[in-house]
Every structure is written in structure tokens, then in C-alpha cells.
Amino acid sequence: MHILIADDETPARSELRYILETLVPEATFCEATNGDEVLALVEREPVDVVFLDINMPGLDGLEVAATIMDGPEPPLIVFATAYDEHALRAFELAALDYVVKPFDERRLAKTIERVRQALEERATLEQRKAALREYLLRAAPTGGLTKLWGQRENENWVLVDYRDILWIVAEAKKVYMHTVAGDKLRVRHTLRELEVRLKPHNFIRVHKGYLVNLDHVAEVVPWFSGTYLVRMADKERTRIPMSRRYAVQLKRETGW
């Protein structure tokens, strides 16, 4: 479990972290002192739950929560407040729970139970949705559309032929394809979904975050400890990491 504690007061962060480390010893923690730091961390890190102080300088906790909830795959939110009257507004923003300062370990234990249950239910739902999407992709008739929708920075959408896709990368919880034309376009699919869809078209996974078109691979370069770099055939000769696990798979499937 990845927990973000957001509070502008160091003693409050320390107290909450101490109790949570006791209740969730397997968790990893990060901290923020204001709303901007919270939004940056949520965008960059795989945060599962945010313990969010309501009264912070700049963006307050309510504004931060509203922004988080508008994003893709938002983390769970637990408000931490010295004022009980904020509870109703917290639940209007779809917060999982709220805790009142000074923190009580028994109350936080109940909150953690709710967090664990919510994360388990979310994981189960995502697994079912992923399994259904994968089944539909496999069951789809072959010979259909061989193009992929991509979104430009101006939010316009374009169809790109599979043959014109160099590689696809997952970064900052989003997926992008890089094209022969030099474009970087947002894709509304997970790498796993695209791996299933594009495998018959000569695409292969080389890293947990990369899917490459073998037709545009220039060479594979040994790196270190059994890993490799895949050098693409674009103008920049872009280098993409290949892990040992996927190197074994590539050798098996291509006879390398």
C-alpha cells in the first residue's frame, strides 16, 4: 500500500505517520506540505490513499480533493481535520473517510480497514474489467481495423496505421504511441490491452513500460546483468530498455 500524508504542519504529519506505520507496517509513505505538492505526487507516484489535511496554505484540502477526483484512477481520499463539521463536505467529494485531530489510533484502525476493503474491491473490479477487455480483443474477428486512435496535445484525435507506430510507452499513468511521423499521441488503452491487440501485427513487449514494433527495430545492444537496449530505426535511434524477462521471451518467440 502506498500512502501519501499531506499536512503543512510537521508535528501532525509525524504523528499520523507514526500511527499508520504501526497499523500498516508493509506500507510505503511519502509526504506533502501543500496542495501543489500533493497534485504533483499523485501525478507522478502510484499512490493508493491520501490522508489529506483540509486547512493548508494555497490550495486547501477540499480544492485538492476535487482536482484529484477529476483525474484518471484517483487514489482513495481520507480527510484529516481539526473540525468535525467538514465531514459532510468530505463525503460530498467522495472521500472514503475522515479523521479528526488529534488522531486516535483506534479510529485510524477502522479507517485502515475501510481502505483495505476498498482497495481489494477496486482490484477485483479492475481484474474483471481487464479480463473482459482481453477476451473481447481475442474474440474479435481478424482482418478488421488495423489502425489505432491517438490524441494530440490540442485534443484532436487521429487514426494511425499499426505499421506507422514505432513504439508505445506507459509513463505517469498514461499511455502514448510514438509514430514514424515523429508524433507522440495519447492512447486510451493499457499496455496489456495493446499487447494482446498488436501482437499479431509484429509488436512485442520488451519492458513493463514499453511495447515495440519489431519492423522498426534497428538493433539490440547488450547492456548489463542480462539486460539489453533496443535501438529503434527512427532518426534519433531512440534507445529503449529491455529487461531480462522480456529478452528471454523475445528470444523464444523470434529465434534470436
Domain extents in the chain: 2-134, 147-254
Q: Do residues 160 and 185 lie in contact, with contact meaning Cβ atoms separated by under 8 Å?
A: yes
HEC assignment per residue over 42-106: HHHCCCCEEEEECCCCCCCHHHHHHHHHCCCCCCEEEEEECCHHHHHHHHHCCCCEEEECCCCHH
The CATH number assigned to the domain with range 2-134 reads: 3.40.50.2300
Q: Which residues contact 142 (CB under 8 A, 6 or more apart)?
A: 200
Task: Please report the pLDDT score of residue 133 as a whole number.
Answer: 58
DSSP 237: -
DSSP 162: G
Task: Please report the pLDDT score of residue 142 as a whole number.
Answer: 47
Dihedral class, residue 58 (left if φ above 0, else alpha if ψ from -120 to 50, else beta): left
Task: Please report the pLDDT score of residue 71 as a whole number.
Answer: 64
Pick from 90, 99, 78: nearest CA to 1:
78
Place of cell 481475442: 138
DSSP 238: -
CA distance 94 to 245: 40
The CATH number assigned to the domain with range 147-254 reads: 2.40.50.1020
Task: Please report the pLDDT score of residue 92 as a whole number.
Answer: 54
Residue-by-residue pLDDT tens, the chain, 256 positions: 999 999 999 999 999 999 999 999 999 999 999 988 988 888 788 889 999 988 888 877 877 887 777 666 788 888 887 765 555 555 555 578 878 888 889 999 999 999 999 888 887 767 766 665 565 555 544 445 688 889 998 888 888 999 999 999 998 889 999 999 999 999 988 888 898 889 889 999 999 899 999 999 999 998 887 789 999 999 999 999 998 888 888 888 887 7
Pick from 186, 180, 197: nearest CA to 232:
180
- Grid coordinates of 164: 506507422
Q: Do residues 211 and 168 lie in contact, with contact meaning Cβ atoms separated by under 8 Å?
A: yes
Other Cβ atoms less than 10 A from the Cβ of 243: the count is: 19
Task: Please report the pLDDT score of residue 182 as a whole number.
Answer: 93
Q: Which residues contact 247 (CB under 8 A, 6 or more apart)?
A: 206, 226, 227, 228
